[in-house]
């Protein structure tokens, strides 16, 4: 399988990365190189094989559903590019 420039632009949109036409063109070639490389997996007989979910055989650890941390609003917004009264500030999303 290979991708064309429109697919690259669509995927870039899904990934929320702006790409120029020139970048999209360069990336089309690079991504096709990678896709061609992974194509060899087609040679492997995977019938009846379970997909891996965890490399270590272990039942997922669960903890009690209780509050163990919190009241750190200031810490949480401390690195935000823009914040106000412990809220993250983003461009207007509702008209």
* Residues that bind another protein in the complex, under the rule CB under 8 A: 1, 3, 7-8, 11-19, 27, 30-31, 33-35, 37-41, 43-44, 46, 49-56, 58, 60-61, 63, 72, 75, 78-82, 88, 90-93
Shortest spacing between CB 9 and another protein, in angstroms: 10
Shortest spacing between CB 21 and another protein, in angstroms: 13
Shortest spacing between CB 30 and another protein, in angstroms: 6
Measured distance CA(23)–CA(15) in Å, rounded: 15
| For another protein, the closer CB: 43 or 85 | 43
15-19-22-28 Cα dihedral, nearest 10 degrees: 0
Contacts of 8 (CB under 8 A, 6+ apart): 19, 24, 27, 28, 31
Measured distance CA(44)–CA(4) in Å, rounded: 26
């Amino acid at each position: 399988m290979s991708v064309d420039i429109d697919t690259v632009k669509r995927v870039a949109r899904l990934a929320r990365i702006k790409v120029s036409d020139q970048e999209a063109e360069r990336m089309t070639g690079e991504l096709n190189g990678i896709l061609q490389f992974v194509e060899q997996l087609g040679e492997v007989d995977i019938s009846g094989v379970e997909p891996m979910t965890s490399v270590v055989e272990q039942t997922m650890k669960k903890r009690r559903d209780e509050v163990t941390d919190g009241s750190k609003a200031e810490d949480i917004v401390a690195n935000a590019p823009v914040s106000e009264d412990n809220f993250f500030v983003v461009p207007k999303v509702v008209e």
